[in-house]
Amino acid sequence: EYTWLRSLSSDAHKGAFGTFPPLKEPKLDIEYGAVSAGSLFPSEGRYRAYGLPEHPGGQIPVVTDTLQEVELLIYLQAEERVLEKLRQALLEPTPREIPHLGRAEDMIILEEVGTVPLERKEVPPGRYPYSFWVPYTEAKQLDMEGLIYRISLKGEDTLTGRRVTSTEVILWEGEAPYRLPVYWDGEKKLPVFLHLL
């Protein structure tokens, strides 16, 4: 999605309007559907030169990725008590703890929660029907190519604010031209890449 984000810093506002704090919007004369602002606006500032009111601050165009009709397979390896606690939280969430992907509107609809045996093995070349987040160091060892992303691993609320731990991963499109030594899900016939949290 192509959208605009606004900076509400005083410098951004002065660059756009020439003054700070924001001016009160003057009364405009509307005549035959046209705006005649005359000398109601100061001449400095990028937007004031057009003679039309604007929102405070400067703005910048930003491209954001929006996910649609996403199917995620998430594998977790932990002690059984941790997995059981997580299983209960996923299957019986409280109204304030509905699982979502970052934004509240990106709600997760669970189709399956279960246990899958994984084995370490070399899998043959082939094409898999998914894309994979592969830890950067492992991807480099396996000579995988793809876009490098920095993704959040976990967040923690502290007295000074929220602290987020992140890591670099490669978005691998699932094309394996050679044998891969990986964890293997024998039920879904998929390679699995684990990252330490």
Closest by CA to 45, choosing from 56, 35, 37, 34, is 56
148 vs 15: which has the higher pLDDT: 148
Model-level pTM?
0.63
Residue with tokens 């997760």: 108
Residue with tokens 């977790």: 76
Strand partners, 167: 151
Closest by CA to 180, choosing from 131, 138, 118, 117, is 138
Torsion of CA 38, 39, 45, 51, to 10 degrees: -10
> Do residues 175 and 110 lie in contact, with contact meaning Cβ atoms separated by under 8 Å?
no
39-74 residue pLDDT tens: 444 445 455 555 555 566 667 788 877 777 888 899
Token pair, residue 65, equals 């990725």
- What percent of the chain is modeled with pLDDT above 90? 30
**pLDDT exceeds 80 at position 21:** no
124-138 residue pLDDT tens: 899 999 999 999 999
Alpha-carbon distance of 6 to 4, in angstroms, equals 7
Total count of residues recorded for the chain: 197
Highest mean pLDDT among 64-68, 149-153, 155-159, 191-195: 191-195
106 vs 166: which has the higher pLDDT: 166
77-123 residue pLDDT tens: 999 999 999 888 888 888 777 788 777 777 888 888 888 999 999 98
> How far from the centroid of its chain's Cα atoms is residue 134's Cα?
17
Three-state SS annotation for 54-122: CCCCEEEEEECCCCCCCCCCCCCCCCHHHHHHHHHHHHCCCHHHCCECCCCCCECCCCCCCCCCEEEEE
Side-chain half-sphere CA neighbours of 143 within 13 A: 5
